[in-house]
C-alpha cells in the first residue's frame, strides 16, 4: 500500500504545482493604468449617472462631483449635505484584477457623515492615481497620510446609496447589486450579523488601508423605483 500512497501523493503534488503555475501564467486583464481619457466621461452623462446612485428625493438636492484629469471637482452645489459621484476602478481593493479597469463606473451618493470622513479617502486616492503613481506608491502614500493624521477619522452614521441600475462594477455584468453601504470601524462582522445564512447584511471588507470596513444591505428596487433582483 505504501508505494501506492506515495505515488498518489506525488501525483497530487504535481497537479497542485501545475495548477499554481497555470494561475501564475494567466495574464492580468488590466495590468497598468490606462490613458486618463479612458476613465473620463462627458460631463452631463457623469452628473446623471452620479445622481442615479440614490432616489431623486435624496440625489436631487445633493452636491455632484465629476472627475477631471486631476481629481474630482464640483459640478453642482447641493443643499442637503449628500454628495454624489462616480467611483472609478482604483477604488477596488488593491489586489483586485479590476484595479485599472477603465470600464468601471460605480455611482455612489454618500450622506453628510460619509462625505466628511470617507469621501476624503476616495478623493486623495484619486488624485494620487491621476498623478501617475503606481498601486504600490498609492498604497504607501495613503498609509503615510493616515499615520500623519492628514485624513479625518470615520464619523458615526456614515453610509451611502449605490442603487443605480446604470453602474458597472466589473464581473461581466451590466450593473451591480442595488444596495446601501454602511461604513464602520474595524469590528467583528457578527456585530452586524453579516455573511450569515439568511442575513441580508454582507461584509465587503476593509477600505484599505483606512481602518474602515464596509457593510452592504441589498435593496429590492433601483433608485428609479424599478424592481431589482437580489
Instruction: Indicate the SS3 state at residue 93.
Output: coil
How far apart are the C-alpha atoms of 135 and 94, rounded to whole Å?
7
Say which residue the cell 433608485 belongs to. 223
Q: Which residue has the higher pLDDT, 27 or 58?
A: 58
Sign of the dihedral through C-alpha 62, 227, 174, 199: positive
**pLDDT grade for 171, boundaries at 50, 70 and 90:** low
In a domain, 29, yes or no: no
In a domain, 146, yes or no: yes
Distance of CA 70 to the CA centre of its chain: 20
What lies within 8 Å, CB to CB, of 18 at 6+ separation is: none
Q: How many domains does the chain have?
A: 1
Tens digits of per-residue pLDDT, 83-117? Answer: 999 999 999 999 999 999 999 999 999 999 999 99
User: CA distances (Å), 132 to each of 18, 72, 129, 220, 227, in order?
Assistant: 36, 16, 5, 39, 40
Instruction: Indicate the SS3 state at residue 128.
Output: helix
In a domain, 105, yes or no: yes
Tens digits of per-residue pLDDT, 107-143? Answer: 999 999 999 999 999 999 999 999 999 999 999 999 9
Range of the domain at 121: 36-218
In a domain, 206, yes or no: yes
Instruction: Please compute the mean of the pLDDT values over residues 30-36 and round it to a whole number.
Output: 93
pLDDT at 49: 98
pLDDT at 27: 72
Above pLDDT 70, what percent of the chain?
Answer: 86
Tens digits of per-residue pLDDT, 64-88? Answer: 999 999 999 999 999 999 999 999 9
Q: Contact 163/171 with Cβ under 8 angstroms? A: no
How far apart are the C-alpha atoms of 104 and 71, rounded to whole Å?
16
What lies within 8 Å, CB to CB, of 212 at 6+ separation is: 118, 121, 154, 183, 184, 185, 186, 206
What lies within 8 Å, CB to CB, of 40 at 6+ separation is: 67, 68, 69
In a domain, 5, yes or no: no
pLDDT at 13 over 60: no
In a domain, 62, yes or no: yes
In a domain, 6, yes or no: no
* Helix pair angle (119-130, 135-147), 10° resolution: 140
DSSP state of 227: B
In a domain, 94, yes or no: yes
**pLDDT grade for 230, boundaries at 50, 70 and 90:** low
Written as nine digits, the cell of 187 is 469590528
pLDDT at 156 over 50: yes
Amino acid at each position: 500500500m505504501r508505494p501506492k500512497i506515495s505515488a498518489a501523493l506525488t501525483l497530487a503534488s504535481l497537479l497542485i504545482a501545475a495548477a499554481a503555475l497555470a494561475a501564475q501564467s494567466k495574464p492580468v486583464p488590466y495590468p497598468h493604468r490606462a490613458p486618463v481619457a479612458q476613465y473620463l466621461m462627458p460631463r452631463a452623462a457623469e452628473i446623471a449617472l452620479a445622481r442615479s446612485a440614490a432616489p431623486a428625493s435624496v440625489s436631487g438636492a445633493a452636491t455632484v462631483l465629476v472627475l477631471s484629469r486631476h481629481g474630482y471637482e464640483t459640478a453642482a452645489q447641493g443643499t442637503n449635505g449628500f454628495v454624489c459621484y462616480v467611483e472609478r476602478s482604483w477604488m477596488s481593493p488593491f489586489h483586485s484584477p479590476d484595479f485599472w479597469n477603465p470600464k468601471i463606473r460605480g455611482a455612489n451618493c454618500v450622506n453628510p457623515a460619509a462625505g466628511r470622513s470617507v469621501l476624503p479617502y476616495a478623493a486623495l486616492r484619486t488624485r494620487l492615481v491621476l498623478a501617475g503613481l503606481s498601486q504600490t506608491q498609492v498604497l504607501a502614500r495613503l498609509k503615510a497620510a493616515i499615520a500623519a493624521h492628514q485624513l479625518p477619522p470615520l464619523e458615526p452614521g456614515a453610509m451611502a446609496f449605490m442603487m443605480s441600475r446604470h453602474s458597472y462594477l466589473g464581473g461581466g455584468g451590466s450593473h451591480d447589486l442595488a444596495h446601501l453601504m454602511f461604513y464602520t470601524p474595524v469590528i467583528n462582522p457578527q456585530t452586524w450579523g453579516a455573511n450569515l445564512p439568511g442575513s441580508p447584511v454582507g461584509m465587503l471588507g476593509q477600505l484599505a488601508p483606512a481602518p474602515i470596513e464596509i457593510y452592504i444591505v441589498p435593496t429590492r428596487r433601483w433608485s428609479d423605483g424599478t424592481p431589482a433582483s437580489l
